[in-house]
Amino acid sequence: MKKFTKLLACVLTAAVMVTAVGCGGNTETTENTETTENTETAGEIVMATNAEFPPYEFREGGEIVGIDVEIAQAIAEKLGYTLKIEDMAFDSIIPAIQSGKADMGLAGMTVTEDRLVNVNFSDSYVTAYQAIIVKADNTDITGPDSLTGKKIGVQLGTTGDIYSSDIEGATVERYSKGFEAVQALEQGKIDAVIIDVEPAKEFAKDNANIKVLDTPFTEEEYAIAIAKDNEELLNSVNEVLKELKESGKFDEIKAKYISE
């Protein structure tokens, strides 16, 4: 009996921890596994995202909007679900999908080998690149080659983080939020920020103190993350993505948020 109690205690502790992790730092609605399991029967599809990544996902008047949100909305409509958005820390998205707390992850997420070990990815829907942001008066940093030995700010767990960790002699400061890295850059605490190009432009748009370099850091493809054991959803998502691209609806959504 005593052994059983101990085992139970361990299992409960582990369960609590796993749940806590899955929910991430700033989940909007906390849910336990039971209710999420019911969502499919209730006709809901849960999208995990990190709504601090304009123009792909960001908050506007309390609502989460953006390119990814509209794509997810279109997918949900085609498949006959209602869309539910869970906002969490970027590095919690994949664990949330793995543990079944969310059905798909759209967060401007690049396909990388490490991530492919843990989740499946749909066909890519955007080709993006990692951009370098520096202070407007900086003439020292002109491209990826001049980053050696510099202080670089990134968002934890993003591709910018993973790739910049390989830069020789550079100190990488990993912020929880992209805008905090930009803030630190403005205050002169770091030399450069490496982040996806669209948010980079968005950050620089209303800010005369910083500029986005024309030379990209790396190129990459965004795709939708889906749990390994959910091939069915993966196939239908791919079909819908194809439809959206062919019908021109996709470019429509893009044009709404990105003005060239």
Partner 1 sequence: MYNPVLLDMASTLQNYKERFILNFISDDRWKYLVNGFFTTIKIAFFAVIIGIVLGFFVSIVRSTYEMNRNDRSKGKVYKVIMGILNFICRAYLSIIRGTPVVVQLLIIYFVIFQSVSIDKVLVAVIAFGVNSGAYVAEIFRSGIMSIDKGQFEAGRSLGFNYFETMVYIIMPQAFKNVLPALGNELITLLKETSVSGYIALEDLTKGGDIIRSRTYDPFMPLIAVAIIYWVVVVIMTFLVGKLERRLRNSDH
- The binding site for partner 1 (CB under 8 A) comprises 14, 17-18, 21-22, 91, 94-95, 98, 114-115, 117-118, 153, 156-157, 161-162, 173-176, 180-181, 183-184, 187-189
Whole-Å CA distances, 179 to 9, 141, 155? 40, 20, 9
Nearer of residues 17 and 255 to partner 1, judged by Cβ:
17
Contact 194, 156 (CB under 8 A): no
**Per-residue DSSP letters for 170-228?**
PEEEEESSHHHHHHHHHTTSSSEEEEEHHHHHHHHHT-TTEEE-SS-SEEEEE--EE-T
Q: Is the backbone peptide bond immediately before 216 cis, with ω within 30 degrees of 0?
A: no
Of 154, 132, 153, nearest to 143 (Cα)? Answer: 132
In the complex, the smallest distance separating the C-beta of residue 121 from partner 1, rounded to whole angstroms, is 13
Closest CB 113 distance from partner 1, rounded Å = 11
CB of 97 to partner 1, least distance (A): 9
* Residue 137, burial from CB neighbour count under 10 angstroms (0-12, 13-18, 19+): exposed
CA distance 67 to 202: 14
CB of 124 to partner 1, least distance (A): 20
43 versus 188: smaller Cβ distance to partner 1:
188
CA-wise closest residue to 250 among 80, 108, 71 = 71
CB of residue 42 to partner 1, shortest distance in Å: 21
CB closer to partner 1 out of 174 and 211: 174
In whole angstroms, give the CA distance from residue 218 to residue 184: 22
Instruction: Identify which of residues 69 and 150 has a Cβ nearer to partner 1 in the complex.
Output: 150
Helix (H) or strand (E) holding 253: helix 249-257
Measured from the CB atom, is 57 or 173 closer to partner 1? 173
* Closer Cβ to partner 1, 183 or 236, answer by number: 183
* 218 strand-pairing partners: 130
**C-alpha distances in angstroms, 66 versus 53, 81, 162?**
9, 19, 25
Give me the least distance between CB of 142 and partner 1, in Å please: 22
Q: Which residues pair with 172 in a beta bridge?
A: 152
* CB 88 to partner 1: min, Å: 13
Cβ proximity to partner 1: between 143 and 188 the closer is 188
